[in-house]
């Protein structure tokens, strides 16, 4: 696409990845990878770990190449801590710290067999909604089946060389851990996607270095120390903090794993990964990605992937999030208030090293306005090439377009109607049909799923005290206190309701009333004085209709209330 190379980061990476894949493995499928640790809720910062390679893989597919997007579920990682605020979990889960995530019980009430599967399922459902095609790999399955046996034995034979490489970094100051700040501070750390940034490198406390960590046969935890290993027989002896110890044959033993800084480069070589991004804490000096790059070639005969660092994903204005998510918004939360295209667009339109925010507050309305404006530009051919590319990547994948709302009415309008009707379907259909009387809705299905997202945003993110409640009875006291100018303005509005009963018509009417009162034409350009008069008139209408001086856009509010009730509340009878 002409000009797209300047702004389209996905195309640039796709060019590089295809060329690199042809150099490394001519004629073979291109391999891109993500790593996710189901140690707790997999949040919107972690989603960047998936969306970055997904978008690149999808572009490669669009060009006719075969590509595999691997998602490595790091479910054989140790359970490190009990996350806060997860429903069905209490302090007793601390007794499982040190076990593999697949050996920890799922939260109480979960239909899933263990902790890892519980959080994997939540993420997998969101990825399906987002149109992400991938091959999932369980590291528990890989290790316990002995899939990596040759690599494990190889690493143990070359432990002195691995130790020498790691030693170059042990004296360096460790990079500051990128913690996950509270979401109200609007930053979710793009934590290391593969789930083990703080894992030790296997140096242990003994004189000899071992890059392998067994899980104890007695307590099931990794509180173990390898005390001896024989390269010829593969006899490995370990002791555990629980007091247990045993000698096993590593050539037959499947209850353990390589330490993270050795495990990751081993997998790059094993899978032939050409592209895998990493979070900030993996890309700092002395971190896993850098160290892995020094290990992958000399030890495993592979090459480090092309690996861009991805930046933070922030959250703006997240109201009372469900405590079942531990206060951390996950992709499923975002997909309840926005369609998949919009969430894809947020990740597609920013380069991986650019941070951005996902709006759970009023900003979501502006985001949807931007999307709708871009849609119109794409359709009429006036959008810039880079914007067209981002739009296409958001709207669908190589497999086809994602399901879309047939009639995408403005999100802010749908939210206002949902606010006023509290989800009453017949009333919602009446109001939405009156927005454009010449094109009435036959069914609410025409505005779904966008309507459902707007309704959920209103019910979950807008505090009760900010919701709109239309008066049940006229405010007789305020009506009795109207001055002549206010009474005249209300009469002009009421007299014009019948002939202006549509969204556009009512927009014209409410702005025209103060102009006509000032002796101006209804289409006169507003002066500063006129704007003051309009604001006063709008505040009066809000006061009489909803008992506050602000509310949803007046044309939408009037349609929602209905002509008869508007007349009653404005003191003009039925």
Residue-wise DSSP of 245-286? EEEEETTT--SEEE-HHHHHHHHHHHHT--B--EEHHHHSTT
Q: Is 238 exposed, middle or buried (0-12, 13-18, 19+ CB in 10 A)?
A: buried
Residues 6+ apart with CB under 8 A from 570: 474, 490, 493, 494, 541, 544, 545
pLDDT of residue 463: 86
Residue-wise DSSP of 339-390? -HHHHHHHHHSS-TTS-EEEE-STHHHHHHHHHHHHHHHHHHT-S-HHHHHH
The phi, psi pair for 180, rounded to 5°, reads -90, 115
Distance CA 429, CA 441 (A): 7
Q: Domains (ranges, CATH) in the chain?
A: 4-310 (3.40.50.620), 411-466 (no CATH), 476-569 (1.10.10.350)
pLDDT of residue 318: 66
Give the DSSP H or E segment for 100: none
Distance CA 245, CA 238 (A): 6
The phi, psi pair for 151, rounded to 5°, reads -70, -40
Strand, helix or coil at 73? strand
Closest among 173, 184, 101 to 143, alpha carbons compared: 101
Distance CA 181, CA 20 (A): 37
Distance CA 516, CA 499 (A): 16
Closest among 5, 4, 93 to 388, alpha carbons compared: 4
pLDDT of residue 405: 97
* Alpha-carbon distance values, 202 to 207, 210, 492, 500 (Å): 12, 6, 80, 75
Are 428 and 444 in contact, with CB atoms under 8 Å apart? yes
Give the DSSP H or E segment for 468: none
Residues 346-368 pLDDT 10s: 999 999 999 999 999 999 999 99
The residues of the chain scoring below 50 in pLDDT are: 1-6, 174-187, 189-198, 205, 320-325, 574
pLDDT of residue 307: 87
Distance CA 477, CA 474 (A): 9
Are 169 and 286 in contact, with CB atoms under 8 Å apart? yes
Residues 6+ apart with CB under 8 A from 500: 506, 508, 509
pLDDT of residue 312: 87
Distance CA 123, CA 42 (A): 7
pLDDT of residue 171: 64
Distance CA 564, CA 573 (A): 8
pLDDT of residue 326: 54
Distance CA 276, CA 52 (A): 9
């Amino acid at each position: 696409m002409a000009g797209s190379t300047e702004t389209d980061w996905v195309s640039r990476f796709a060019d590089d990845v295809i060329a690199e894949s042809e150099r490394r493995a001519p004629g073979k499928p291109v391999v891109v990878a993500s790593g996710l640790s189901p140690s707790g809720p997999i949040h919107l910062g972690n989603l960047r770990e998936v969306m970055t390679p997904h978008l690149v893989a999808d572009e490669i597919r669009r060009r006719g190449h075969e590509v595999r997007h691997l998602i490595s579920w790091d479910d054989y990682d140790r359970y490190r801590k009990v996350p806060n605020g997860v429903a069905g979990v209490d302090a007793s889960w601390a007794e499982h710290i040190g076990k593999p995530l697949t050996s920890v019980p799922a939260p109480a009430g979960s239909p899933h067999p263990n902790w890892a599967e519980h959080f994997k399922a939540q993420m997998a459902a969101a990825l399906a909604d987002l149109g992400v095609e991938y091959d999932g790999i369980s590291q528990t399955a890989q290790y316990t089946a002995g899939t990596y046996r040759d690599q494990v034995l190889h690493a143990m034979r070359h432990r002195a060389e691995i130790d020498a490489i790691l030693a170059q970094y042990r004296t360096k100051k460790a990079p500051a851990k990128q913690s996950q700040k509270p979401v109200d501070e609007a930053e979710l750390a793009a934590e290391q996607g593969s789930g083990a940034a703080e894992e030790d490198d296997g140096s242990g406390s003994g004189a000899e270095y071992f890059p392998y960590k067994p899980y104890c046969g007695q307590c099931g935890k990794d509180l173990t120390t390898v005390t001896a290993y024989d390269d010829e027989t593969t006899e490995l002896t370990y002791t555990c903090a629980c007091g247990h110890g045993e000698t096993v044959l590593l050539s037959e033993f499947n209850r353990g794993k390589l330490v993270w800084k050795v495990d990751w480069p081993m997998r790059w070589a094993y899978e032939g990964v050409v592209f895998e991004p990493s979070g900030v804490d993996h890309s700092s000096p002395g971190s896993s990605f850098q160290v892995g790059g020094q290990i992958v070639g000399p030890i495993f005969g592979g090459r480090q992937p092309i690996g861009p660092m991805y930046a933070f994903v922030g959250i703006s204005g997240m109201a009372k999030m469900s405590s079942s998510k531990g206060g951390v918004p996950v992709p499923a939360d975002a997909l309840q208030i926005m369609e998949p295209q919009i969430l894809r667009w947020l990740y597609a339109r920013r380069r991986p090293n650019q941070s951005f925010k996902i709006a759970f507050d009023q900003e979501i309305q502006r985001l949807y306005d931007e999307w709708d404006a871009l849609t119109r530009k794409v359709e009429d051919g006036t959008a810039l090439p880079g914007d067209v590319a981002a739009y296409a990547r958001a709207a669908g994948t190589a497999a086809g377009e994602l399901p879309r709302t047939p009639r995408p009415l403005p999100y802010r309008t749908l939210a206002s109607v949902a606010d006023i009707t509290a989800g009453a379907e017949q009333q919602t259909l009446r109001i939405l049909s009156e927005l454009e009387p010449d094109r009435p809705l036959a069914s609410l299905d025409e505005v779904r799923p966008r309507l459902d997202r707007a309704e959920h945003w209103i019910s979950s993110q807008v505090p009760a005290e900010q919701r709109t409640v239309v008066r049940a009875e006229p405010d007789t006291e305020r009506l009795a206190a109207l001055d002549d100018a206010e009474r005249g303005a209300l009469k002009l509005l009421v007299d014009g309701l019948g002939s202006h009963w549509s969204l556009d018509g009512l927009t014209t009417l409410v702005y025209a009333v103060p102009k006509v009162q000032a002796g101006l034409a209804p289409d006169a350009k507003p002066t500063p004085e006129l704007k003051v008069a309009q604001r006063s008139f709008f505040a009066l209408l809000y006061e009489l209709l909803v008992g506050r001086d602000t509310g949803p856009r007046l044309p939408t509010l009037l349609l929602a209330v209905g002509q008869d009730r508007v007349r009653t509340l404005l003191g003009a009878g039925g």
